[in-house]
């Protein structure tokens, strides 16, 4: 039995097309949520038309602080001890990305002697502290995994030190491509006029650094003086804004809309109608690249190559870079790109099927 382990919303978005492919190919699988994230997970599951999780290790949790994350990990470890299917009925354990749930699942597979298949393998920033702990997690997971599904030649080349006997597969693209393809098919693109920009910020290195956080919020105020911003609030971001007093400052600005998280199809529609995207998220960078959407990264480094040198700009928290990007995009428009005829989820499921036999 293939066990698919998912912990966060971003992982669910990228794993949903794989789950759909498993279902359509009638491959037996078990869908397990770790409980690291809870908010809007049900909405995301519904928007992709996949079945509800077969098991949730930790119910009703949202690990949006360090203490909650530690608490979640404690209860997740306890929960695994009661789940006999990990030892007795899992032929391949599938993990994704670079979160604590990814590391948790990989160590679990290593301890129980279950082959671990890592999706989105080989991404690197080559700096253990930027981003932290994601880069460290990626390296550890690569050392312990048995199968590595890489989304590009570059990612494949980064896996030079994996353990002997590991399998490396180049899927040519990230599974986010299949998620976007599904989502765009649900949209009526003629309805979308580009009248605003979208903001999505959530990374620990931005929210926990007072200097960076104040700079980002001040820049958003300046940008909002030029056009409307739809600020999509992750739970951790909303908590930070409220605790710091910035929530009220942003809410008072006539051109800033503070929006709750939404399902993926709706979010894609919001992106399709925007002038540009401001984000610190790697998945958002990939989405913007495939769509052709101009994207400003509030980061110093990224572990992804998608869009760099074309529609994706790393701000490096430089005010001139940020304002030049915004002013240029105010007078330019963009068109939705045709998605490449590549289906990474189908390739992964084809290989997983062989592994599970």
Residues 145 and 45 in one domain: yes
Same domain, 317 and 351: no
Residues whose CB falls within 8 Å of the CB of residue 216, separated by 6 or more in sequence, listed in order: 201, 206, 298, 317
Helices (DSSP H) in the chain: which residue ranges? 9-24, 41-47, 66-82, 85-88, 100-112, 134-144, 153-157, 176-185, 204-207, 210-224, 235-244, 246-252, 264-272, 282-291, 319-331, 344-356
- Rounded CA gap, 29 and 352, in Å? 10
Q: What pLDDT does residue 194 have? A: 79
pLDDT at 209: 94
Tokens 């994704």 found at:
96
Residues 131 and 214 in one domain: no
**What does the DSSP 8-state code read for residue 125?**
-
Same-domain pairing of 199 and 322: yes
Range of the structural domain that residue 350 is part of: 2-173+342-356
Q: Within this chain, do residues 204 and 141 fall inside the same structural domain, yes or no?
A: no
Q: Give residue 201's pLDDT.
A: 97
Predicted pLDDT of residue 191: 53
Pair (196, 112) in one structural domain = no
Please give the pLDDT value at position 189.
Answer: 60
Are 265 and 316 contained in the same domain? yes
d(CA 102, CA 94): 9
The answer to whether residues 15 and 175 touch, using CB atoms and an 8 Å cutoff, is yes
Q: Are residues 45 and 13 in the same domain?
A: yes
| Residue range 57-73, pLDDT digits in tens | 998 777 767 788 888 89
Residues 70 and 142 both lie in one domain:
yes
- Confidence at residue 63, expressed as pLDDT on a 0 to 100 scale: 74
CATH (domain of 294): 3.40.50.2000
pLDDT at 102: 98
Residues of the chain with pLDDT under 70: 64, 188-193, 357
Q: How far is CA 220 from CA 223, 232, 254, in A?
A: 5, 13, 13
Encoded tokens for 71: 């608490």
Residues 163 and 201 in one domain: no
Hey, what are 47's tokens? 């928007």
pLDDT of residue 163: 79
256 & 351 share domain: no
DSSP assignment of 58-118: STT----SHHHHHHHHHHHHHHHHH-THHHHS-SEEEEETTSHHHHHHHHHHHHHT--EEE
Q: Does residue 63 sit in the same domain as residue 162?
A: yes
pTM of the model as a whole: 0.92
Q: How far apart are CA 168 and CA 158, in angstroms?
A: 11
Please list, in sequence order, all residues whose beta carbon lies within 8 angstroms of the beta carbon of residue 177, skipping any fewer than 6 positions away. Answer: 290, 339, 340, 342, 343, 344
């Amino acid at each position: 039995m293939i066990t698919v382990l998912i912990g966060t919303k971003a992982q669910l978005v990228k794993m949903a097309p794989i789950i759909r492919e498993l279902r359509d190919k009638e491959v037996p699988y078990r869908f397990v949520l770790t409980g690291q994230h809870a908010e809007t997970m049900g909405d995301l599951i519904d928007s992709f038309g996949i079945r509800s999780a077969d098991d949730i290790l930790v119910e009703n949790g949202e690990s949006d602080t360090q203490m909650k994350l530690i608490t979640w990990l404690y209860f997740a470890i306890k929960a695994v001890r009661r789940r006999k299917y990990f030892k007795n009925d899992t032929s391949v354990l599938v993990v994704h990305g670079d979160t604590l749930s990814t590391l948790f699942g990989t160590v679990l597979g290593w301890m129980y002697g279950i082959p671990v298949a890592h999706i989105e393998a080989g991404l690197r920033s080559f700096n253990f502290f930027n981003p932290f702990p994601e880069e460290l997690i990626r390296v550890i997971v690569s050392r312990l995994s048995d199968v590595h599904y890489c989304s590009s030649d570059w990612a494949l080349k980064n896996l030079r030190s994996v353990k002997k006997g590991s399998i490396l597969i180049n899927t040519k693209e990230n599974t986010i491509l299949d998620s976007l393809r599904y989502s765009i098919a649900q949209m009526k693109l003629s309805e979308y006029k580009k009248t605003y920009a979208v903001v999505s910020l959530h990374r620990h290195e931005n929210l926990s650094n007072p200097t960076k956080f104040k700079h980002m919020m001040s820049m958003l105020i300046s940008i909002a003086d030029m056009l409307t911003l739809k600020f999509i609030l992750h739970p951790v971001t909303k908590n930070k804004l409220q605790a710091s007093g910035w929530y009220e400052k942003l809410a008072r600005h006539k051109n800033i809309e503070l929006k709750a998280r939404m399902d993926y199809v709706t979010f894609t529609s919001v992106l399709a109608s925007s002038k540009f995207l401001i984000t610190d998220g790697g998945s958002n960078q990939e989405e913007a690249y495939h769509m052709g959407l101009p994207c400003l990264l509030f980061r110093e480094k990224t572990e992804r190559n998608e869009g760099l040198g074309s529609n994706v700009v790393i701000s490096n928290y430089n005010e001139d870079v940020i304002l030049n990007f915004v002013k240029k995009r105010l007078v330019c428009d963009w068109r939705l790109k045709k998605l490449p005829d590549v289906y990474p989820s189908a390739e992964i499921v084809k290989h997983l099927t062989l592994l599970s036999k």
